A and B are shown apart, each in its own frame.
Chain A
Amino acid sequence: MKKLGKELFTNHGADILSYGGLVLCVLIFSFLSEGKIFSAYNFRILIQAVCVYAILCMGAMFVYAMGYMDISVGAQVGVYSILCILIANKTNSVWLGFLTILGLALICGFINGYVSVMLGLPSIVTSIFLMSIFSGIQALIMEKLALNSVAITCDMTQYKDTKFMIAMIVIVAIVSIVLFKYTPLGEVVRSIGANEHATQYSGINTTKWKVLAYAFFGICVALGAFLLTARTGAAGKGTGNGYAMDIMVALLLGGMPLSGGMRSKISSALIGSFTYVILSNGLILSGVDTKLVYIIKAIVFIAVILITCRKKDGVLPR
């Protein structure tokens, strides 16, 4: 029995901890918030808050599974939201706004995936480059508009409806799981994360799959930006700020290995997003002082890292 338990924990330790963390969060905050966490209103706002994170995280899984990271996502979300609003306001078509940012996101995915290989640069370098470019564009647009924030004039109510947002999470989750588990794309990105050189030596064109992984991430970024715009109805100089770090934290809370590889799972994105949002929501509902919220989040983060990522030999898990 003891051996079985040990085996179970060795093989599924990260899963047990990530699911356990989510359940623990729900239990603790349902007790401390006197059940407010389960109210219909709170459920709606949790879905609204989770939706963007979950979609971005599921896209990011394909990048993180390769052992890479993208820090340009926040700046991209900011610019896409602003552009979506400006185009929709000008043309009175929300869809035209979405298709434009989708096109842009795919181009950026191509730059991230292909150019870094062509120039022999680590993907983090191209993402830094993109982050700088997008941050600059965001600031320039807002200065040109002489506004702190620009609001959408088209009606986007239907896109911030809870049912629509749940449907979006489910659709993206299904597509992501299929791509990640049942197509060569998922297999190759995990394989790159486990050992890129070995993957190349086995005759796989890694460049092609990297570009495809970044392209899927781009689609998720565009969709995330669109849903964020629907939710807030406005965008400005600071829109998207902090998303790169939030995604990283959410993935780690979901049990994603820092170095990517074969143990990467789409469930990490979903579990991590829910845990991250419930943690923030629950602390406020429980009446915890705002100053302490940051400290508690940091402690939880460190605890998760220590439990899920630290190994006896000091090497990150693959």
Chain B
Amino acid sequence: MANFKKIAALGLAAIMGLSTLTACGKGGSSDTTQGGSTVETKHHKIGVGLYTDSGKAVEAIKAYLDGISKTVDCEFSYTTLSTYDEATNLTEVQNLISSGCEGIILTADMGTTSIIKECAEANVYVAGFLCDFNQSMFTAHEEVFENEYFLGTVCDGWADATPYGEQVADEVIKNGYKSVGVIVFPEYAYPNQTVVAKAFTDKINEYNKTADQKITVKEPTVLNFAPLDATYFSENADIDCLFSVAAGASFVYPQMVAANRTDIKLYTSGFEGTEDVENFGANGNGAFRGTMCSAPEAIAYPLCLLIDKLNGTVYKDLPATERVDCQPIIILSDDDLNKVKEKSLYFSADYKDALITGEDIVNMCASYNADATYAQLVEKLQHLGVNDL
């Protein structure tokens, strides 16, 4: 009997605990004010599959979606995707569909073919965010990009981030570094990183043609999604700068600290908002000199496409499904960092810092604004950089 009581108590505690953790849904439509007039919006439930479950970017995305949720009349349900396991992603998407999501935003291109097939069967639309869907683009274009249930994607910054490679090269030349190491993830997984590394090397080689003091650029080291090997710094003892196109804050900086080589200046991509801020430029040990990330507000692109599709309206100028760029946040100086720290939603996770508001999104949807165009939506994504803060 005592055991039964314990089990019953456990069961009741579980129900009470979970009840407090669950959110209540709603249906129907509501009104939102747009430029003085009132627009009747339709309620939708959108699933968001994020590539990770924590970190600065995730906090900011959730804060942003929470902030716009009432205005755009959308309820958001989150799940965490895997960047390497198709079965996990399919299960997560199925769970979102089962929970009533009418549209899904994906941030990882893994198992996309089966996901799109599943969504098509369930009449659920999919769009991408923070992902170039490179693999689907080149190996399953017909199944994904030509499927009517895939609406398009906005990349993590630029699909071709060559300009960032060139900007870092300019910084390296300007600051007079003499020997630079380059680190990338495997080309089969992130082909664009190799392109960025090449753009960097080409620009330095161009400079070397006329320079008195030439800059040495090491052959790119490939990181297999594991931290940089401890021997890297003894094998490349002469380097005074590192360009880790692969996530440097997580995979390279800790090894620099362990090897006592924080004198090396690090340019990378991705923004953790922790040690990379504390040690950027004039701060801390000053190891971090440059980084690049994407504004959470870029999620407006898949969101507008999904809302319109669910409302049965499309832009008059809507092209065939495509992937578009958004202006990345490029931090190359203390001023840039201070601006990001003080004014960006990415850093503050505060909706009031958003560059695209809920009203803007309603205004950019063809179903709520007959004058809205696809070109305007894409143009809006070009104003999410440091200079726009």
Query: Chain A interface (Cβ within 8 Å of chain B)?
Result: 2, 5, 9, 13, 17, 20, 24, 28, 31-34, 36, 39, 41-42, 45, 48-49, 52, 139, 142-143, 145-149, 151, 228, 231-239, 241-242, 280-281, 283-292, 294, 296, 303, 307
Contact = CB atoms under 8 A, between A and B. Distances in A.
Nearest to B91: A49
Given A28-B18, A228-B87, A290-B78, A41 B122 contact: yes
A232 B117 CA distance: 10
Contact of A281 (B4, B86, B98, B224): B98
A9 B86 contact: no
A32 B15 CA distance: 8
A227 to B, nearest CB: 11
Given A31-B15, A143-B188, A291-B54, A234 B98 contact: no
Contact of A288 (B21, B91, B114): B21
A232 B111 CA distance: 7
Contacts of B22: 32, 286-288
Contacts of B10: 303
B84 to A, nearest CB: 3
Interface string B91-104: 11011111110000
B191 to A, nearest CB: 9
B interface, size bucket: 35 or more
A232 B109 CA distance: 13
Given A236-B85, A290-B78, A148 B189 contact: yes
Contacts, number: 138
Given A28-B14, A289-B78, A290-B53, 13 more contacts: A5-B4, A28-B11, A28-B18, A32-B22, A142-B188, A149-B110, A234-B86, A239-B87, A241-B82, A280-B91, A284-B95, A290-B79, A307-B6
B302 to A, nearest CB: 19
For the complex of A and B, list the 5 residue pairs with the smallest distance between their C-beta atoms, beginning with the closest: A238-B84, A238-B85, A45-B94, A146-B188, A284-B95
B188 A287 contact: no
B187 interface: yes
B179 interface: no
Contacts of B114: 231-234
Nearest to A31: B15
Given A9-B3, A234-B86, A148 B110 contact: yes
A13 B54 contact: no
A99 to B, nearest CB: 22
Contact of B99 (A139, A239, A284): A284
Interface of B: 1, 3-4, 6-7, 10-11, 14-15, 18-19, 21-23, 25, 50, 53-54, 77-80, 82-87, 90-92, 94-100, 109-111, 113-114, 117, 122, 135, 139-140, 186-189, 224
A147 B84 CA distance: 11
A21 to B, nearest CB: 9
A237 B226 CA distance: 14
A239 B89 CA distance: 11
Contacts of B53: 290-291, 294
B58 to A, nearest CB: 9
Nearest to B14: A28
Contact of A233 (B78, B79, B82, B113): B113
B213 to A, nearest CB: 38
Contact of A45 (B14, B77, B98): B98
A145 B187 CA distance: 11
Contacts of A143: 186, 188
Q: Considering residues A39, A146, A294, which has the most beta carbons from chain B within 10 angstroms of its beta carbon?
A: A146
A291 B188 CA distance: 30
A197 B240 CA distance: 63
A139 B1 CA distance: 53
Contacts of A34: 25
A231 B87 contact: yes
A228 to B, nearest CB: 6
B82 A13 contact: no
B96 A284 contact: yes
A198 B54 CA distance: 51
B86 A287 contact: no
Contact of B140 (A5, A151, A231, A294): A151
A32 B19 contact: yes
Nearest to A243: B87
A33 B100 CA distance: 10
Contacts of B99: 33, 36, 284-285, 287
Nearest to B94: A45
A39 B11 contact: no
A211 to B, nearest CB: 30
Contacts of B92: 284
